[in-house]
Structure 1
């Protein structure tokens, strides 16, 4: 009963190995190695948002030593610190295209990039607005906070937040993985990391970027962070144990609840209907879905028995909770960002089943649900179905799947045509039923 999200050919996973320490060095210790005061300290990297940030100032403030340099046409920059300088440093540049500032923290010499991912990572590490932090940086706090364990945890949390939109698992280190950015003169020249940044820009359409940074700064504990672009989901196993729907060893008959959308942005006073998807025990019928709805915050708006939510008039971050009446310990929460300046649309995609059991050669119909941009009409539902494995059966445009004759586990992909970065994988279990 798991839904996995992939980007390009990589499968969604969370990073389980320690990051290389930023700047090109590596450390498995609990504290970073801070370069002492020596002559010739150098930092180099690339500033990009999927396209190189060319001819932009890169300002830096170090424990001793401040200054600025400029990016080249390909976004690359180099900082040669004067003799007597000491790390750590905080770097800042601005994207001329939209005025957004990007930051990075350096505790070692070597490669240090400036991208939306470094901004997210810095924000999560320091739990503050990085533009304000750069104005008056507390570099002692950077030294204390910037440990291998903390960087690994923060980066893993960001991967999970973005996992409903794209897969960053191929990028081992947000800070110091060498980056080749596409340029205006050569828009196809970007490397794999640059393409991740391209997809991130698309996935964060509808101005999710700033609210996401705010939540990375203020949301604690990590389990409370939203997963954008994916329905919320929780499964109850035996002995009152709970796991997310992306966890391993899921069973079709385990009690489950999904909420969709799992995260969205709304304008004050606007309305949106949330949907809860439940599974039921065999031979059990309900006259209505056994779901209770509530808004977690007292001033967070209102929701009725049918899941219709009315946003409050005050901008802020709120939560809608759906609980199962038949399994009172089982509930799932969706995040709502109420913002005056953002459009009331975040693209979502969900499926009726995350795991499907089917007999060899049999046909089964799969269904996908999406939301639609305002004032846009489609002739057909803009989703495309495909089978991942060459021998995994076939599926048509309407989601009618024909299983192969060979027993095994296969995978069907459903992807939004209008937002190609958003797609899901359904597990297909082909086997004969037990005797």
Structure 2
């Protein structure tokens, strides 16, 4: 009788823990999906995507509209996303999360933010943001950096010879869910965020003006923990 009760007790424990681990087996695989749009003001078609997370990694290729999707089994964010096509290399970073879907758009704005966080953290390289322990940014770091950088971008937009509408202060420069980039087949289809990128990138279609990059670095320095140790980014 005692043996039966013991067996029933073990079954009850297993049932209660089913969502976390299979009793007597390996832990369940929890997928983390990274998705977004890669663009320079024009969608990057056929770009190579490499995702490196605090735990887990994956690869993909961008579609004609710049979109990509990578599922990382047992992934743990933040994740560094690097998109390469020819001489173009742009990065973005996703929040700390371990399941579900995280959006990380890859643009000159996201690239500048990544570089500025590297400098603010004294991390030495973008890769250290997901491998360097104390250099890994918190979600609060990312949110604060985005908010500070929007102000700098809006000032740059207002200073253009032909100013364009400022971005909303709620625009997520890293993870805007509905970001739409212009494409070769539809060059005027980009949304306000895409038009801001297009207006501010220099002749190569990728690089932001040095003065804006400096302002982004300074703004990020003031809000990202720890307080900056120096550096200018530019990776």
Instruction: Place the TM-score, normalised by the shorter chain, in its bin.
Output: 0.5 to 0.7
User: TM-score, normalised on structure 2?
Assistant: 0.63
Q: For the structure 1 residues 211 and 44, does the alpha-carbon distance in structure 2 shift closer, same or farther, using more than 3 Å as the test?
A: same
**Which residue is 1:88 aligned to?**
78
User: TM-score, normalised on structure 1?
Assistant: 0.36
**Which residue is 2:110 aligned to?**
118
**Which residue is 2:30 aligned to?**
39
Measure, in 2, the Cα distance between the counterparts of 1:204 and 1:153: 29
**Which residue is 1:383 aligned to?**
none
Q: Among residues 151, 158, 163, which one is paired with 2:154 in the alignment? A: 163
Q: For the structure 1 residues 86 and 159, does the alpha-carbon distance in structure 2 shift closer, same or farther, using more than 3 Å as the test?
A: closer
Deviation at 1:174, TM superposition (A): 0.8
Kept in 2, the 8 Å contact 1:180–1:190? The answer is yes
Measure, in 2, the Cα distance between the counterparts of 1:69 and 1:116: 20
Kept in 2, the 8 Å contact 1:127–1:218? The answer is no
Aligned length: 182
Matches within 5 A, 1:238-253: none
Higher helix share: 2
SS at match of 2:189: coil
Measure, in 1, the Cα distance between the counterparts of 2:145 and 2:202: 23
**Which residue is 2:126 aligned to?**
133
Matches within 5 A, 1:22-421: 38-82=29-73, 84-96=74-86, 99-106=87-94, 107-108=96-97, 109-127=101-119, 132-134=125-127, 137-141=130-134, 143=136, 145-148=137-140, 150-166=141-157, 167-169=166-168, 172-177=171-176, 178-201=178-201, 208-209=208-209, 212-213=212-213, 216-217=216-217, 222=222
Deviation at 1:136, TM superposition (A): 8.3
Kept in 2, the 8 Å contact 1:64–1:86? The answer is yes
**Which residue is 1:333 aligned to?**
none
Which structure has the greater CA radius of gyration? 1
Kept in 2, the 8 Å contact 1:44–1:112? The answer is yes
Q: For the structure 1 residues 44 and 64, does the alpha-carbon distance in structure 2 shift closer, same or farther, using more than 3 Å as the test?
A: same
**Which residue is 1:348 aligned to?**
none
Q: Which has the higher contact order (CA 8 A, sep 6+)?
A: 2
Higher strand share: 1
